[in-house]
């Protein structure tokens, strides 16, 4: 059996490794356009901030160490240009050697990932305008910062990566302005929770311009100003476009592989596409929202990893399922953690769930124990059943714990009362006799 994998970051390498574990005999060949494989995309902001000093720390494997460990062939600088599903062939360019070639597969896993969106803003060709996606792109940003020439940076987009980069630039002594089209930062959060993050950013010296977008970039060769749609002129030596990413599906679509409304490849729970023997996984593929049972595209490393594993197992002859996701996300923004899982009230209502929300403020642990910090929790509960369907947590240390407990609660359709009753661990350095997650359940149960 011959298994081809296109892409060697999170999903591709997970797929190849799991395929090998599932099938000792198969020939497994991974085609990767770039040179770096299996890099920590989520670690890039920390590489730029110098929290991670060495580039190598971002790379779990080199092509060689991965190939040796898993007994697969890893062809870097191989860009796959065409899939021919009828002939079960893929055709590639070997970039380094300017050669072309083909490979006949029995099973194919597409893990082409996603790329940063770069709208054709006037002035985009100026120096020092970046996107952040690969280690290469991070190298370029880090080099610019290391040059010492960057005093002011403007970040376009206040999503997870945009805000992580606001922290990273600030850590490097750069004055940061964030421009966001929506009226709030972190658009996946409810406005009142996002407001807590905005306040924290401003307290840390980050300037926010909300409800405004880029009109153009101004400067002569070097970027000098970001000019917004409303006419604001922001001085900037560097701009980071962090508007969002789009699934890399061109190759798949040309081969007749179906793409969903999200723009990512449609897959079932086995990670099969509409074409026989072709799987898709990771940032290029959709998942299922476990609460609405609808396709959803939330490209994250954790999902890519799991999907890759499932696709690899199935391609190699196994029978695995990726159930779906809760859209759980988390980010560290200076001293604050912001995390979300499940549905917002708006999303619940859009999905036909009659819901209400509860918001509480609690301490991460006993008030008398050092390091006590406030945590804001919001829960979305179904009115009739009292089942929790969504949560947001914003606060100090221990916020990550509560989102994971709440994600597990949502996965299990726990009621508000059950959330209060579940026997969470208490000792003063870790919690209070009534854990914040339990208090959220308690307050919601009262409203039922």
Active-site positions read: 42
Which is nearer to a second copy, 143 or 425 (by Cβ)?
Answer: 425
Interior angle at CA 299, CA 238 and CA 88, nearest 5: 115
Say how many residues touch a second copy, by CB under 8 A: 66
- CA atoms of 27 and 16, how far apart (whole Å): 10
Q: Which range touches a second copy (CB under 8 A), out of 84-92, 104-112, 345-353, 431-439? A: 431-439
To the nearest 5 percent, what fractions of the chain are helix, strand and coil? Answer: 30, 30, 40
272 binds a second copy (CB under 8 A): no
214 binds a second copy (CB under 8 A): no
Q: Are 348 and 389 in contact (CB under 8 A)?
A: yes
447 binds a second copy (CB under 8 A): no
319 binds a second copy (CB under 8 A): no
The pair of three-digit structure tokens given for residue 64, joined into one six-digit string? 């060689």
Interaction with a second copy in 37-66: which residues (CB under 8 A)? 40, 42-43, 46, 51-52, 57-58
Interaction with a second copy in 120-139: which residues (CB under 8 A)? none
Other residues' Cβ atoms within 10 Å of the Cβ of residue 308:
31
352 binds a second copy (CB under 8 A): no
- CA atoms of 335 and 167, how far apart (whole Å): 10
Which is nearer to a second copy, 107 or 401 (by Cβ)?
Answer: 401
Which is nearer to a second copy, 58 or 185 (by Cβ)?
Answer: 58
1 binds a second copy (CB under 8 A): no
407 binds a second copy (CB under 8 A): yes
- For the bound state, the minimum distance from the C-beta of residue 335 to a second copy, rounded and expressed in Å, comes to 11
Interaction with a second copy in 142-161: which residues (CB under 8 A)? 160
Site string for a second copy, 10-29 (x = CB under 8 A): x-------------------
Residue found by looking up tokens 């594993």 in the block: 309
- For the bound state, the minimum distance from the C-beta of residue 407 to a second copy, rounded and expressed in Å, comes to 6
Q: Are 218 and 123 in contact (CB under 8 A)?
A: yes
- DSSP labels for 373-385? -EEEEEEEEETTT
Q: Are 142 and 47 in contact (CB under 8 A)?
A: yes
- CA atoms of 140 and 143, how far apart (whole Å): 5
Alpha helices, H only, 128-234? 135-146, 160-171, 191-203
Which of 103, 149, 110, 112 is closest to 127 using CA atoms?
Answer: 149
Contact residue for a second copy among 73, 94, 430, 448 (CB under 8 A):
430
Backbone dihedral region of 231: left (phi > 0), alpha (psi from -120 to 50 degrees) or beta? left
Longest dimension (CA), the chain: 69
Q: Which range touches a second copy (CB under 8 A), out of 72-80, 90-98, 136-144, 328-336? A: 328-336
Give the containing element (helix H, strand E) for 211.
Answer: none
Which is nearer to a second copy, 233 or 335 (by Cβ)?
Answer: 335
- CA atoms of 4 and 28, how far apart (whole Å): 6
Contact residue for a second copy among 163, 336, 405, 444 (CB under 8 A):
405
Interaction with a second copy in 367-396: which residues (CB under 8 A)? 367-370
325 binds a second copy (CB under 8 A): yes
Which is nearer to a second copy, 243 or 300 (by Cβ)?
Answer: 300
Interaction with a second copy in 279-308: which residues (CB under 8 A)? 290, 300-306
The pair of three-digit structure tokens given for residue 98, joined into one six-digit string? 């300017």
Other residues' Cβ atoms within 10 Å of the Cβ of residue 335:
13
- For the bound state, the minimum distance from the C-beta of residue 384 to a second copy, rounded and expressed in Å, comes to 19
- For the bound state, the minimum distance from the C-beta of residue 416 to a second copy, rounded and expressed in Å, comes to 13
Backbone dihedral region of 340: left (phi > 0), alpha (psi from -120 to 50 degrees) or beta? beta
Residue found by looking up tokens 């990550």 in the block: 400
Which of 120, 372, 383, 387 is closest to 243 using CA atoms?
Answer: 120
Q: Which range touches a second copy (CB under 8 A), out of 132-140, 215-223, 335-343, 374-382? A: 335-343
Contacts of 250 (CB under 8 A, 6+ apart): none
248 binds a second copy (CB under 8 A): no
Alpha helices, H only, 316-354? 345-350
Which is nearer to a second copy, 228 or 262 (by Cβ)?
Answer: 262
Which is nearer to a second copy, 236 or 285 (by Cβ)?
Answer: 285
Q: Are 295 and 262 in contact (CB under 8 A)?
A: yes
Give the containing element (helix H, strand E) for 361.
Answer: strand 355-363
366 binds a second copy (CB under 8 A): yes
Which is nearer to a second copy, 123 or 324 (by Cβ)?
Answer: 324
Which is nearer to a second copy, 2 or 21 (by Cβ)?
Answer: 21
314 binds a second copy (CB under 8 A): no
Binding site for a second copy (CB under 8 A): 10, 40, 42-43, 46, 51-52, 57-58, 160, 290, 300-306, 322-332, 337, 339, 341, 366-370, 398, 400-401, 403-405, 407-409, 411-412, 414, 418, 420-431, 433-435, 437
């Amino acid at each position: 059996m011959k298994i081809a994998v296109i892409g060697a970051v999170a999903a591709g390498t997970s797929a190849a490794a799991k395929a090998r574990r599932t099938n000792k005999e198969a020939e497994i060949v991974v085609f990767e356009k770039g040179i770096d494989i299996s890099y920590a995309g989520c670690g890039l902001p920390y590489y730029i901030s110098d929290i991670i000093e060495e580039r190598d720390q971002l790379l779990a494997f080199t092509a060689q160490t991965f190939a040796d460990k898993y007994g697969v062939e890893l062809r870097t600088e191989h860009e796959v240009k065409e899939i021919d599903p009828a002939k079960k062939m893929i055709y590639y360019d070997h970039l380094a050697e300017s050669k072309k070639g083909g490979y006949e597969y029995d099973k194919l896993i597409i893990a082409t990932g996603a790329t940063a969106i770069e709208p054709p803003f006037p002035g985009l060709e100026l120096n020092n305008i970046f996107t952040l996606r690969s280690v290469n792109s991070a190298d370029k940003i880090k080099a610019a910062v290391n040059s010492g020439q960057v005093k002011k940076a403007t970040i376009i987009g206040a999503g997870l990566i945009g805000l992580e980069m606001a922290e990273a630039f600030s850590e490097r002594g750069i004055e940061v302005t964030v421009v966001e089209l929506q009226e709030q930062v972190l658009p996946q959060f409810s406005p009142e929770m996002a407001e807590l993050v905005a306040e924290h950013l401003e307290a840390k010296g980050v300037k926010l311009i909300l409800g405004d977008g880029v009109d153009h970039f101004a400067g002569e060769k070097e970027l000098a100003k970001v000019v917004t749609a409303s006419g604001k002129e922001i001085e900037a030596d560097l701009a980071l476009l962090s508007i969002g990413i789009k699934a890399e599906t061109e190759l798949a679509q040309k081969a007749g592989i179906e793409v969903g409304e999200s723009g990512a490849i449609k897959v079932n729970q086995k990670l099969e596409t509409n074409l026989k023997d072709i799987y898709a996984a990771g940032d290029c593929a959709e998942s299922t929202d476990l609460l609405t049972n609808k396709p959803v595209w939330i490209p994250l490393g954790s999902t890519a990893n799991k999907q890759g594993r499932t696709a690899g197992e199935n391609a190699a002859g196994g029978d695995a399922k990726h159930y779906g996701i809760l859209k759980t996300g988390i980010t560290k923004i200076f001293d604050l953690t912001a995390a979300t899982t499940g549905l917002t009230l708006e999303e619940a209502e859009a999905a036909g769930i009659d819901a209400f929300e509860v918001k509480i403020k609690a301490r991460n642990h006993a008030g008398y124990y050092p390091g006590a910090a406030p945590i804001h929790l919001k829960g979305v509960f179904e009115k009739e059943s009292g089942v929790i369907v969504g949560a947001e947590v914003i606060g100090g240390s221990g916020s990550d714990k509560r989102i994971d407990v709440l994600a597990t609660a949502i996965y299990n359709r726990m009621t508000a009362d059950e959330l209060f009753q579940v026997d969470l661990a208490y000792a003063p350095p870790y919690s209070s006799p009534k854990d914040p997650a339990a208090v959220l359940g308690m307050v919601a149960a009262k409203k039922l």
